[in-house]
Amino acid sequence: MRNICVVGAGYVGLVTGTCFSDLGNRVTVLDVSEPRIKGLREGVLPIYEPGLEEVVKRNVAADRLRFTASYPEALNGAEFVFIAVGTPEGVDGEADLQYVRSAAESVADHMDHPVVIVNKSTVPVGTGDWVADIVKARQAKPIAFSVVSCPEFLREGSAIQDFLNPARIVLGSLDKDAAHKVADLHLPLRAPIVVTDLRTAEMIKYASNAFLATKISFINEIANICEALGADVKEVAAGMGYDTRIGRAFLDAGLGYGGSCFPKDVKALAHMARTKARHPQLLETVTQINQYQRQAVVAKVCETLGGEDLKGRVIGVWGLAFKPNTDDLRDAPAIEIIQELAKRGAALRACDPVAARGVARILPKLDLRADAYQVADGADAVVLCTEWNEYKQLDLARVRQGMRTPVLIDGRNVYDPARVRELGFVYRAMGR
């Protein structure tokens, strides 16, 4: 059993801390937000992630997982300090490191014994060195420490599975002994471990996310061409995916990527390139294509309903979260689509199995309904934005019967075009 402190009770920190405790370690998760810590102590999680609540409760009951807002309490006896705070997008696309700086300074202020500081947050290349400089300069008296980069590769909606069954563990440090100590923490996962220097480890994270985002934008570009030429992008993607050099993953055409990782990481990597006088044309185009997909859906709605003026039109939206199995609304395509349709005068209504509660803070005037059928009743068009399983199994005949105008815009290519059209819908999809 190792003693671990995790700074940050957000998505990455909470999942990381909980899973390490489930591996038998003693973990203290620290967050400067008193209300968040109070909620966690009462069993109220700040995020929705399938299976997480059960694992948190199990390890709290076993006294392996605790929550605090006190640095002295969290650092007491800690051998490892994982920094897992947010790195939001800055004004020019750069990563905002204010929370990383604050965490590093607070660790330096309160550490009273040697520790291994592990950067878990997604941070620009060179941040590991920067954190080391901050801690060294901030210490009241010299205490030994090492910095290790251990980037996270968790997918929202399957984060616990991803943590416990990783494709690889990436570790970077100038101190090989410290890197091997962190490697030992991960040995129970029986995953390949890549040990490299700090900057290379940080770059692996950005390069990985940028590549996956590129695959998504590539297939969306192909979808737009397929639509113009009369081909079916789903069949194209299937045919491509059999080639092992290409692979099937991330070749689903639709509304593009969203969430807290891909959008900001692609922009941050492009920003880093520009600061070094490099020209990230591909990365910039990936972002532009992703943005275009949202406008393309708005255009499809306007085309099918007869023009840009949507006054008097009722449009329903199925799904608000940026992907299924999460309540994360950050950079969710649905939010921008709703805002654009509202600018054209449409009356909007929507539903989502778990994200509806959070959307009220972003779109306070949005008419939220209990389910997909209530959203469709009396609507002139419905737009599928998030491919929740429950939307895949809808009684579309019932949906059609309740709509005022049977227009269905399938932003995720979920439905069979022939069947939907047989039911009497005007059906538009992405690249089909």
Write down the domain spans for the chain. Answer: 3-196, 198-432
Q: Do domains 3-196 and 198-432 have the same CATH topology?
A: yes
Quick one: average pLDDT of 120-146?
Answer: 96
Say if residues 169 and 187 touch (Cβ distance below 8 Å).
no
Q: 219 to each of 23, 192, 248, how far by Cα in Å?
A: 39, 30, 11
Quick one: average pLDDT of 186-210?
Answer: 97
pLDDT at residue 357 is higher than 90: no
Reported confidence tier of residue 342, pLDDT bands at 50, 70, 90: very high
Helix 233-241, helix 198-229: angle, nearest 10: 140
Q: What is the mean pLDDT of the chain?
A: 97
Compute the distance between CA of residue 375 and CA of residue 391 in angstroms, rounded to an integer. 12
Quick one: pLDDT at residue 190?
Answer: 97
Fold of 198-432: Rossmann fold (3.40.50)
pLDDT at residue 123 is higher than 90: yes
70 three-state secondary structure: coil
Compute the distance between CA of residue 159 and CA of residue 236 in angstroms, rounded to an integer. 30
Quick one: pLDDT at residue 103?
Answer: 98
Quick one: pLDDT at residue 32?
Answer: 96
Could you read off the pLDDT of 380-417 as tens digits, one per residue? Answer: 999 999 999 999 999 999 999 999 999 999 999 999 99
Quick one: average pLDDT of 9-30?
Answer: 98
Show which residues are catalytic: 261
Share of the chain above pLDDT 70, in %: 100
Compute the distance between CA of residue 264 and CA of residue 246 in angstroms, rounded to an integer. 25
Quick one: pLDDT at residue 92?
Answer: 85
DSSP state of 383: E
Could you read off the pLDDT of 25-82 as tens digits, one per residue? Answer: 999 999 999 999 999 999 999 999 999 999 999 999 999 999 999 999 999 999 999 9
Reported confidence tier of residue 426, pLDDT bands at 50, 70, 90: very high
Helix 262-275, helix 281-305: angle, nearest 10: 140
Q: Give me the residue label for tokens 């227009």.
A: 407
Reported confidence tier of residue 91, pLDDT bands at 50, 70, 90: confident
Could you read off the pLDDT of 265-292 as tens digits, one per residue? Answer: 999 999 999 999 999 999 999 999 999 9
- What is the dihedral sign for C-alpha 104, 109, 110, 113? positive
Quote the CATH superfamily of domain 3-196. NAD(P)-binding Rossmann-like Domain (3.40.50.720)
Say if residues 163 and 15 touch (Cβ distance below 8 Å).
yes
Quick one: average pLDDT of 352-359?
Answer: 93
C-beta neighbour count of 126 within 10 angstroms: 13
Say if residues 256 and 290 touch (Cβ distance below 8 Å).
yes
Quick one: pLDDT at residue 46?
Answer: 95
* Structure tokens, 367: 């008419």
115 three-state secondary structure: strand
Q: 392 to each of 318, 386, 410, how far by Cα in Å?
A: 11, 10, 11
351 three-state secondary structure: strand
pLDDT at residue 151 is higher than 90: yes
C-beta neighbour count of 340 within 10 angstroms: 17
Reported confidence tier of residue 177, pLDDT bands at 50, 70, 90: very high
Quick one: average pLDDT of 296-304?
Answer: 97
Beta-ladder partners of 318: 351, 384
Q: Give me the residue label for tokens 């069979």.
A: 416
Compute the distance between CA of residue 44 and CA of residue 48 in angstroms, rounded to an integer. 10
pLDDT at residue 226 is higher than 90: yes
Plot region of 394 (φ>0 → left; ψ -120 to 50 → alpha; else → beta): beta
Would strands 381-384 and 65-68 be described as parallel, antiparallel, or unpaired?
unpaired
Q: Which amino acid is at 5?
A: C
